[in-house]
Amino acid sequence: MNITPEQAAHALREIENSRLAMRKAVQAHRGHLYLWLWGAIWAVMAVLNWSNPERYAWATLWLNVAGAFASFAIGFLQGRQIRSPIDKRFVGVCATILAFGYFVYPALHGGYHSYREAYACGMLIWMQLYIVGGLWFDNYWLWIGIAVTALILVGFLFLPAFFWGFALLGAFTLLGSGFYVRYSWR
Amino acid sequence: MDALDPTIHQPARLQIMSALTQLCGDHRVDFTFLKDRLGLTDGNLGAHLATLEAKGYIAVDKQFVGRRPKTFVRATPEGKLAFTQHVAALRSILGTP
Protein backbone atom coordinates (compact mmCIF):
# COMPACT_ATOMS: atom_id res chain seq x y z
CA MET A 1 0.00 0.00 0.00
CA ASN A 2 1.51 3.32 -1.10
CA ILE A 3 0.35 6.81 -0.23
CA THR A 4 1.75 10.29 -0.81
CA PRO A 5 3.26 12.42 1.99
CA GLU A 6 0.20 14.71 1.76
CA GLN A 7 -2.12 11.75 2.36
CA ALA A 8 0.07 10.60 5.27
CA ALA A 9 -0.04 14.09 6.80
CA HIS A 10 -3.82 14.20 6.38
CA ALA A 11 -4.18 10.78 8.07
CA LEU A 12 -2.02 11.89 11.01
CA ARG A 13 -4.17 15.02 11.41
CA GLU A 14 -7.30 12.86 11.45
CA ILE A 15 -5.73 10.61 14.07
CA GLU A 16 -4.88 13.59 16.26
CA ASN A 17 -8.42 15.00 15.95
CA SER A 18 -10.00 11.68 16.96
CA ARG A 19 -7.56 11.29 19.84
CA LEU A 20 -8.38 14.76 21.13
CA ALA A 21 -12.13 14.13 20.95
CA MET A 22 -11.79 10.87 22.87
CA ARG A 23 -9.30 12.30 25.34
CA LYS A 24 -11.80 15.02 26.28
CA ALA A 25 -14.50 12.37 26.73
CA VAL A 26 -12.18 10.24 28.88
CA GLN A 27 -11.25 13.27 31.02
CA ALA A 28 -14.92 13.76 31.83
CA HIS A 29 -15.06 10.16 33.12
CA ARG A 30 -12.20 10.28 35.60
CA GLY A 31 -12.71 10.05 39.32
CA HIS A 32 -13.06 13.80 39.87
CA LEU A 33 -16.81 13.62 40.55
CA TYR A 34 -16.18 11.24 43.46
CA LEU A 35 -13.37 13.45 44.76
CA TRP A 36 -15.60 16.54 44.66
CA LEU A 37 -18.53 14.72 46.23
CA TRP A 38 -16.59 13.17 49.11
CA GLY A 39 -14.32 16.16 49.57
CA ALA A 40 -17.45 18.28 50.11
CA ILE A 41 -19.04 15.69 52.42
CA TRP A 42 -15.91 15.30 54.59
CA ALA A 43 -15.56 19.11 54.74
CA VAL A 44 -19.18 19.58 55.86
CA MET A 45 -18.81 16.76 58.41
CA ALA A 46 -15.66 18.38 59.79
CA VAL A 47 -17.44 21.74 60.18
CA LEU A 48 -20.49 20.12 61.83
CA ASN A 49 -18.31 18.13 64.23
CA TRP A 50 -16.27 21.20 65.00
CA SER A 51 -19.32 23.25 65.90
CA ASN A 52 -21.61 20.82 67.75
CA PRO A 53 -21.00 17.08 67.22
CA GLU A 54 -23.87 15.86 69.46
CA ARG A 55 -26.40 17.98 67.67
CA TYR A 56 -25.25 17.01 64.17
CA ALA A 57 -24.51 13.29 64.70
CA TRP A 58 -27.57 12.27 62.69
CA ALA A 59 -26.82 14.80 59.98
CA THR A 60 -23.37 13.32 59.43
CA LEU A 61 -24.87 9.84 59.22
CA TRP A 62 -27.36 10.95 56.56
CA LEU A 63 -24.62 12.78 54.69
CA ASN A 64 -22.79 9.47 54.37
CA VAL A 65 -25.93 7.69 53.19
CA ALA A 66 -26.60 10.43 50.61
CA GLY A 67 -22.97 10.27 49.49
CA ALA A 68 -23.18 6.50 49.02
CA PHE A 69 -26.32 6.85 46.86
CA ALA A 70 -24.76 9.67 44.85
CA SER A 71 -21.63 7.55 44.30
CA PHE A 72 -23.72 4.66 42.98
CA ALA A 73 -25.57 7.06 40.69
CA ILE A 74 -22.32 8.49 39.31
CA GLY A 75 -20.94 4.99 38.74
CA PHE A 76 -24.13 3.89 37.00
CA LEU A 77 -24.34 6.94 34.72
CA GLN A 78 -20.65 6.94 33.79
CA GLY A 79 -20.66 3.17 33.28
CA ARG A 80 -23.21 3.61 30.51
CA GLN A 81 -20.58 5.37 28.39
CA ILE A 82 -17.10 4.24 29.36
CA ARG A 83 -16.77 1.11 31.43
CA SER A 84 -13.80 -0.50 33.13
CA PRO A 85 -13.68 -4.20 33.94
CA ILE A 86 -14.39 -5.07 37.58
CA ASP A 87 -11.32 -6.42 39.36
CA LYS A 88 -12.85 -8.90 41.79
CA ARG A 89 -9.64 -9.29 43.78
CA PHE A 90 -9.52 -5.53 44.37
CA VAL A 91 -13.18 -5.50 45.39
CA GLY A 92 -12.33 -8.26 47.88
CA VAL A 93 -9.44 -6.25 49.30
CA CYS A 94 -11.70 -3.17 49.67
CA ALA A 95 -14.39 -5.21 51.42
CA THR A 96 -11.80 -6.62 53.82
CA ILE A 97 -10.39 -3.19 54.71
CA LEU A 98 -13.88 -1.72 55.19
CA ALA A 99 -15.04 -4.68 57.31
CA PHE A 100 -11.94 -4.44 59.47
CA GLY A 101 -12.15 -0.66 59.79
CA TYR A 102 -15.85 -0.35 60.50
CA PHE A 103 -16.55 -3.55 62.44
CA VAL A 104 -13.46 -5.40 63.70
CA TYR A 105 -11.51 -2.37 64.96
CA PRO A 106 -14.43 -0.76 66.88
CA ALA A 107 -15.40 -4.17 68.30
CA LEU A 108 -11.89 -4.83 69.63
CA HIS A 109 -11.40 -1.25 70.74
CA GLY A 110 -14.74 -0.90 72.54
CA GLY A 111 -16.19 1.53 70.01
CA TYR A 112 -15.04 5.07 69.31
CA HIS A 113 -14.34 7.27 72.32
CA SER A 114 -14.85 10.66 70.71
CA TYR A 115 -16.26 12.26 67.58
CA ARG A 116 -12.72 13.23 66.67
CA GLU A 117 -11.61 9.61 66.82
CA ALA A 118 -14.63 8.43 64.82
CA TYR A 119 -13.96 11.01 62.12
CA ALA A 120 -10.23 10.23 62.01
CA CYS A 121 -10.86 6.47 61.80
CA GLY A 122 -13.47 6.91 59.06
CA MET A 123 -11.19 9.10 56.99
CA LEU A 124 -8.17 6.83 57.54
CA ILE A 125 -10.10 3.71 56.49
CA TRP A 126 -11.07 5.32 53.18
CA MET A 127 -7.58 6.71 52.64
CA GLN A 128 -6.26 3.20 53.14
CA LEU A 129 -8.44 2.20 50.19
CA TYR A 130 -6.98 5.07 48.15
CA ILE A 131 -3.44 3.94 48.98
CA VAL A 132 -4.11 0.28 48.18
CA GLY A 133 -6.02 1.29 45.02
CA GLY A 134 -3.19 3.58 43.93
CA LEU A 135 -0.64 0.80 44.38
CA TRP A 136 -2.92 -1.74 42.72
CA PHE A 137 -3.73 0.33 39.63
CA ASP A 138 -0.58 2.47 39.66
CA ASN A 139 -2.40 5.79 39.65
CA TYR A 140 -2.87 9.11 41.52
CA TRP A 141 -5.05 7.64 44.29
CA LEU A 142 -1.84 6.64 46.10
CA TRP A 143 -0.66 10.25 46.56
CA ILE A 144 -4.08 11.51 47.62
CA GLY A 145 -4.28 8.69 50.19
CA ILE A 146 -0.83 9.40 51.59
CA ALA A 147 -1.37 13.17 51.78
CA VAL A 148 -4.74 13.00 53.55
CA THR A 149 -3.56 10.21 55.88
CA ALA A 150 -0.58 12.34 56.88
CA LEU A 151 -2.79 15.37 57.58
CA ILE A 152 -5.24 13.39 59.69
CA LEU A 153 -2.51 11.62 61.67
CA VAL A 154 -0.58 14.83 62.37
CA GLY A 155 -3.77 16.58 63.52
CA PHE A 156 -4.96 13.65 65.62
CA LEU A 157 -1.68 12.63 67.25
CA PHE A 158 0.36 15.82 67.52
CA LEU A 159 -1.97 18.83 67.27
CA PRO A 160 -5.32 17.68 68.69
CA ALA A 161 -6.40 21.27 69.41
CA PHE A 162 -6.27 21.93 65.65
CA PHE A 163 -7.63 18.54 64.55
CA TRP A 164 -10.73 19.89 62.79
CA GLY A 165 -8.60 22.32 60.87
CA PHE A 166 -6.46 19.43 59.66
CA ALA A 167 -9.63 17.47 58.85
CA LEU A 168 -10.82 20.39 56.70
CA LEU A 169 -7.45 20.50 54.98
CA GLY A 170 -7.78 16.78 54.23
CA ALA A 171 -11.23 17.33 52.74
CA PHE A 172 -9.93 20.25 50.66
CA THR A 173 -7.11 17.99 49.45
CA LEU A 174 -9.77 15.67 48.01
CA LEU A 175 -11.63 18.61 46.44
CA GLY A 176 -8.46 20.12 45.01
CA SER A 177 -7.31 16.77 43.64
CA GLY A 178 -10.65 16.54 41.85
CA PHE A 179 -9.95 19.82 40.06
CA TYR A 180 -6.41 18.72 39.20
CA VAL A 181 -7.57 15.37 37.82
CA ARG A 182 -10.35 16.98 35.80
CA TYR A 183 -8.51 19.91 34.28
CA SER A 184 -4.76 19.41 34.46
CA TRP A 185 -3.83 15.76 34.64
CA ARG A 186 -2.95 14.08 31.31
CA MET B 1 10.24 -0.07 8.54
CA ASP B 2 6.57 -0.61 9.48
CA ALA B 3 4.10 -1.11 6.62
CA LEU B 4 0.77 0.65 6.28
CA ASP B 5 -2.19 -1.48 7.31
CA PRO B 6 -5.00 -1.16 4.72
CA THR B 7 -7.61 -2.31 7.26
CA ILE B 8 -6.75 0.53 9.62
CA HIS B 9 -6.00 3.15 6.96
CA GLN B 10 -9.63 3.47 5.80
CA PRO B 11 -10.69 6.92 7.21
CA ALA B 12 -13.55 5.79 9.47
CA ARG B 13 -11.55 2.85 10.85
CA LEU B 14 -8.58 5.15 11.40
CA GLN B 15 -10.85 7.37 13.51
CA ILE B 16 -12.21 4.38 15.42
CA MET B 17 -8.77 2.97 16.23
CA SER B 18 -7.43 6.43 17.17
CA ALA B 19 -10.29 6.87 19.61
CA LEU B 20 -10.17 3.37 21.11
CA THR B 21 -6.42 3.45 21.70
CA GLN B 22 -6.94 6.49 23.97
CA LEU B 23 -8.76 4.34 26.53
CA CYS B 24 -6.74 3.02 29.47
CA GLY B 25 -6.07 -0.69 29.87
CA ASP B 26 -9.16 -2.79 29.36
CA HIS B 27 -11.61 0.13 29.44
CA ARG B 28 -14.40 -0.13 26.91
CA VAL B 29 -16.66 2.43 25.33
CA ASP B 30 -20.36 2.33 24.56
CA PHE B 31 -21.33 2.00 20.87
CA THR B 32 -23.63 5.07 20.92
CA PHE B 33 -21.09 7.16 22.79
CA LEU B 34 -18.42 6.27 20.22
CA LYS B 35 -20.80 6.94 17.33
CA ASP B 36 -21.59 10.43 18.67
CA ARG B 37 -17.94 11.26 19.28
CA LEU B 38 -16.91 10.24 15.76
CA GLY B 39 -19.98 11.56 13.94
CA LEU B 40 -20.73 8.23 12.24
CA THR B 41 -24.08 6.56 11.60
CA ASP B 42 -25.19 3.32 13.30
CA GLY B 43 -24.78 1.29 10.13
CA ASN B 44 -21.46 2.82 9.18
CA LEU B 45 -19.94 2.32 12.63
CA GLY B 46 -21.36 -1.22 12.90
CA ALA B 47 -19.88 -2.25 9.55
CA HIS B 48 -16.43 -0.87 10.34
CA LEU B 49 -16.44 -2.43 13.81
CA ALA B 50 -17.26 -5.80 12.22
CA THR B 51 -14.27 -5.43 9.89
CA LEU B 52 -11.93 -4.53 12.74
CA GLU B 53 -13.31 -7.31 14.92
CA ALA B 54 -12.76 -9.86 12.14
CA LYS B 55 -9.09 -8.82 12.05
CA GLY B 56 -8.87 -9.19 15.84
CA TYR B 57 -8.13 -5.48 16.33
CA ILE B 58 -11.11 -4.79 18.57
CA ALA B 59 -13.36 -6.80 20.89
CA VAL B 60 -17.10 -6.22 21.05
CA ASP B 61 -18.99 -7.13 24.25
CA LYS B 62 -22.71 -7.05 24.73
CA GLN B 63 -23.76 -6.31 28.31
CA PHE B 64 -26.89 -5.28 30.15
CA VAL B 65 -26.94 -1.86 31.81
CA GLY B 66 -30.04 -1.90 33.95
CA ARG B 67 -32.46 -3.81 31.72
CA ARG B 68 -31.12 -2.55 28.42
CA PRO B 69 -28.60 -4.39 26.27
CA LYS B 70 -25.61 -2.23 25.42
CA THR B 71 -22.67 -2.83 23.12
CA PHE B 72 -19.21 -1.97 24.43
CA VAL B 73 -16.08 -1.82 22.29
CA ARG B 74 -12.38 -1.90 23.16
CA ALA B 75 -9.10 -2.20 21.28
CA THR B 76 -7.29 -5.52 21.72
CA PRO B 77 -3.52 -5.66 22.35
CA GLU B 78 -3.11 -6.79 18.72
CA GLY B 79 -5.16 -3.82 17.58
CA LYS B 80 -3.13 -1.39 19.68
CA LEU B 81 0.10 -2.82 18.27
CA ALA B 82 -1.17 -2.70 14.67
CA PHE B 83 -2.31 0.89 15.16
CA THR B 84 1.04 1.93 16.66
CA GLN B 85 2.84 0.37 13.70
CA HIS B 86 0.48 2.08 11.27
CA VAL B 87 1.14 5.49 12.85
CA ALA B 88 4.90 4.78 12.74
CA ALA B 89 4.57 3.95 9.02
CA LEU B 90 2.68 7.20 8.38
CA ARG B 91 5.37 9.18 10.20
CA SER B 92 8.15 7.44 8.32
CA ILE B 93 6.55 8.59 5.04
CA LEU B 94 6.83 12.15 6.32
CA GLY B 95 10.30 11.50 7.68
CA THR B 96 9.30 12.36 11.26
CA PRO B 97 10.08 10.13 14.30
Q: What is the mean pLDDT of residues B77-93?
A: 94
Nearest to A1 by CA among B82, B42, B86, B46: B86
Q: Name the residue among A1, A18, A81 with its Cβ closest to that of B19.
A: A18
User: Would you call B18 and A80 a contact, using CB atoms and an 8 Å cutoff?
Assistant: no
Q: What is the pLDDT of residue A185?
A: 63
- B94 pLDDT tier (thresholds 50, 70, 90): confident
Q: Would the pLDDT of A94 be above 80?
A: yes
A28 touches chain B (CB under 8 A): no
CA–CA separation, A157 and A112 (whole Å): 15
Per-residue burial over A125-162, b if 16 or more Cβ lie within 10 Å, else e, is ebbbbbbbbbebeebbbbebbebbbebbeebbeeeeee
- B67 pLDDT tier (thresholds 50, 70, 90): confident
Q: What is the mean pLDDT of residues A137-162?
A: 94
Which residues of chain A make contact with B11, given a CB cutoff of 8 A? 11, 14
Q: Is the CATH code 1.10.10.10 the one for domain B6-89?
A: yes
Coil, strand or helix: which one is B86? helix
Q: Which residue in A7, A17, A80, A138 has the most chain B C-beta atoms within 10 A of its own C-beta, making it the best mutation to test that interface? A: A80
Q: What is the mean pLDDT of residues B85-93?
A: 93
- β-partners of residue B60 are B73
Quick one: B90 exposed, middle or buried, by C-beta within 10 A (0-12, 13-18, 19+)?
buried
Mean pLDDT across chain A, nearest whole number? 90
Q: Which residue in A17, A82, A137, A181 has the most chain B C-beta atoms within 10 A of its own C-beta, making it the best mutation to test that interface? A: A82
- B97 pLDDT tier (thresholds 50, 70, 90): low
Q: What is the pLDDT of residue A56?
A: 79
- The percent of residues above 70 in pLDDT, for chain A, comes to 99
Q: Would the pLDDT of A186 be above 80?
A: no
Which residues of chain B make contact with A22, given a CB cutoff of 8 A? 18-20, 22-23, 29, 37
pLDDT digits (tens, 9 = 90+) for A49-77: 988 888 878 888 899 999 999 999 998 88
Task: Read off the DSSP letter of residue A114.
Answer: S
Q: What is the pLDDT of residue A134?
A: 93
Q: If contacts are CB pairs under 8 Å, which of residues 80-99 in chain A contact chain B?
A: 80-85
B80, B17 contact by CB (below 8 A): no
> Regarding predicted confidence, which is higher, A13 or B95?
A13
ipTM above 0.90, yes or no: no
Task: List the strands of the sheet with B58-65, edge to edge.
Answer: A82-83, B28-30, B68-75, B58-65
Q: Would the pLDDT of B1 be above 60?
A: no
Nearest to B52 by CA among B85, B29, B20: B20
- B51 pLDDT tier (thresholds 50, 70, 90): very high
Q: Where are the domains of chain B?
A: 6-89
CA–CA separation, A138 and A145 (whole Å): 13
> Regarding predicted confidence, which is higher, A111 or B57?
B57
Q: What is the pLDDT of residue B39?
A: 87
A59 touches chain B (CB under 8 A): no
pLDDT digits (tens, 9 = 90+) for B20-48: 998 877 788 999 989 988 888 999 999 99
Nearest to B13 by CA among A115, A24, A14: A14
CA–CA separation, B35 and B46 (whole Å): 9
> Regarding predicted confidence, which is higher, B29 or A80?
B29
Q: What is the pLDDT of residue B48?
A: 95
A19 touches chain B (CB under 8 A): yes
- B75 pLDDT tier (thresholds 50, 70, 90): very high
User: Would you call A84 and B93 a contact, using CB atoms and an 8 Å cutoff?
Assistant: no
